[in-house]
Amino acid sequence: MEIYEALLLGIIQGLTEFLPVSSSGHLELGKALLGDESMPRESMLFTIVVHAATALATLLVYRSDVSNLIKGTFMSNSREEQIFSAQILLSMIPAVLLGMIFSDEIEIFFSQQITLVGSMLIVTAGLLLIADNPKESTKDVSFFSSLVIGLSQAIAILPGISRSGATISTAILLGINREKAAKFSFLMVVPLIIGKIIQDIISGEVFINESQIGILTVGFLSAFITGIYACKIMISIVKKAKLKFFAIYCFVVGAISILTQI
């Protein structure tokens, strides 16, 4: 992978992590278009690094909420903060279990499975159309809805299924307030990404050659900077219920992806 490719892929990750169009799917499409011939494990490493960058962007944009989340987990006497922290932790369980049981199978998905990506983008389009309802959502996140949203996040491990699209759509369909749905969606993935990075470092799965440092740094920085702006944009979009435009985009890109493989 060249520096300019890492820059482009980092920008793709930063923009698409928070927009409901599947960042992992677009990364795989981007790698295919650029002719990236990395082994699945090396390709997965780049994917992890740029996802870490957008996780850091989330921490920055939602720094006050993250602070409350940490307090609620470890030191707060506020019942509201404790409940929210418990709900975030509960939402992580499905994805953690899926990742632990099927880690090797999941790795294969990140080797330019273009037909799979295209098919899952069409599924994402359907989810967004269903959720793009102008009816006002008013409910708060509950423990039950946390688990259901967590299940949708686990399914979104598949490249092409938008994590933010799936989780926000699920929350809206459950009647949860749109702004709260977006905040919960963005915050629930941060512990997962950080946990994955720590796990890989401890297990020795992450091994970086000196030749990769520049590429990974460029990818990280470009994803982080664009991710900050995309996160703020997405919050505004969710409030205004404009998801149908992303549904059309996902359907078109998904269909083209499938047709190119025929």
* Band of residue 245 on the pLDDT scale cut at 50, 70, 90: confident
Q: Which of 152, 166, 186 is nearest to 65 (CA)?
A: 186
Predicted confidence (pLDDT) at residue 39 exceeds the cutoff of 60 = no
Task: State the pTM of this model.
Answer: 0.77
Find out whether 131 and 172 touch, Cβ atoms under 8 Å. Answer: yes
Predicted confidence (pLDDT) at residue 169 exceeds the cutoff of 70 = yes
CA distance 1 to 37: 8
Helices (H), 102-160: 103-109, 114-131, 143-155
pLDDT tens for each residue of 102-130 = 766 666 666 667 888 899 999 999 988 88
Cross-strand bridge partners of residue 74: none
Predicted confidence (pLDDT) at residue 65 exceeds the cutoff of 60 = yes
Of 192 and 103, the one with more pLDDT: 192
The 3-state DSSP composition of the chain as helix, strand, coil percent (nearest 5) reads 80, 0, 20
Of 47 and 10, the one with more pLDDT: 10
Mean pLDDT, the chain, rounded, equals 81
Residues 6+ apart with CB under 8 A from 213: none
Q: Cα 88 vs. chain centroid, distance in angstroms? A: 15
Of 212 and 128, the one with more pLDDT: 128
CA distance 236 to 242: 9
Lowest mean pLDDT among 205-214, 229-238, 253-262: 205-214
Q: Which of 68, 54, 21, 10 is nearest to 237 (CA)?
A: 21
Mean pLDDT over 173-191 rounds to 83
Angle at CA 66, nearest 5°, toward 205 and 184?
Answer: 90
Residue 129 burial (CB count, 10 A): 17
- Per-residue model confidence (pLDDT) at position 105: 67
